[in-house]
Amino acid sequence: MNMDPTQKSQPLVAQASDSTAESAAELNHYQHGPKLTQVQYTPLAELTLQAVDANYPKLLLIISITIAVIIMLTLGIVSQIALNIPINVTLSILTAYALLALIIIKLIHLKAKRISYGVFEHELVLREGLFWVSTTALPYTRLQHVNVSQGPLERKYHLVTLKCFSAGSGVAEIDLPGLNADLAEHLRQHLLVKAATSHMPQKSAAMPDSQAQQNNNSEHVDEVRPHHE
């Protein structure tokens, strides 16, 4: 008696559809657990941050005023000699520029004073910004490289900029300016030690399975090896 091939495939199709339905049912019945309220969240930790060196806002203030004065003198000379603009128009332009420059200089000074950072047990935190405040936390497990740089003006005030790079990133995730040079070097060494310590458990856990099996086999041989008197 010959059986129709379609009749043989029908049980297989039915079995496949049943397994698909069971998988969908398992997904629909996934248990997310009880819903948490805000009271049950991990307690919010208050960040106690410290400001950068007091000489950093002063340095930016001096640089900003110097640049503003140079631009104002350049505008006055160009408007009078090259463009031959009337004196009253030139004074109006310089007055408007001076007011705008004062506002920008004040904002730069305030922004520099708002920079703060914190060195914690598991991460380094940087907070900056005047109107749009940004808080960046870099765990030591991701820290790969720490760089300290110092420009000529920073050298005069004994200041440096500390930059922290994470694994696989070509741009510094934390760019912390205005640190005292001695403090920055101490902090750099501390961060490198914390990064190396945080990476050690991962290295030990990444031991090849063959080596672990070899160690287990050697222990087992020591246990079953007969003792000859």
pLDDT in tens, 71-107: 999 988 888 787 777 888 888 889 999 999 999 999 9
One-character DSSP codes across 58-99: HHHHHHHHHHHHHHHHHHHHIIIIIS---HHHHHHHHHHHHH
User: Left if phi > 0, otherwise alpha if psi is -120 to 50, otherwise beta: which for 203?
Assistant: alpha
* AA letter at 54: A
What is the Cα–Cα distance from 109 to 103, expressed in whole angstroms?
Answer: 10
pLDDT reading at 204 higher than 50: no
User: Residue 214 pLDDT more than 80?
Assistant: no
- Cα(131)–Cα(133) distance, rounded to whole angstroms? 6
Residue length of the chain = 229
Q: In this predicted model, what pLDDT tens digit does every residue of 113-134 receive, in sequence order?
A: 999 999 998 999 999 998 999 9
Question: Please, which pLDDT band fits residue 177 given cuts at 50, 70 and 90?
Answer: very high
Pick the residue with more confidence: 225 or 199? 199
- Split at pLDDT 50, 70, 90, the class of 169 is confident
Give the CA angle between residues 98, 100, 101 to the nearest 5°: 60
Candidate from 38-47, 53-62, 147-156 with smallest mean pLDDT: 38-47
pLDDT for 47: 77
pTM score of the predicted model = 0.66
Cβ within 8 Å of residue 154, ≥6 positions away? 59, 160, 161
Please tell me the distance from the alpha carbon of residue 229 to that of residue 224, in angstroms, as a whole number: 15
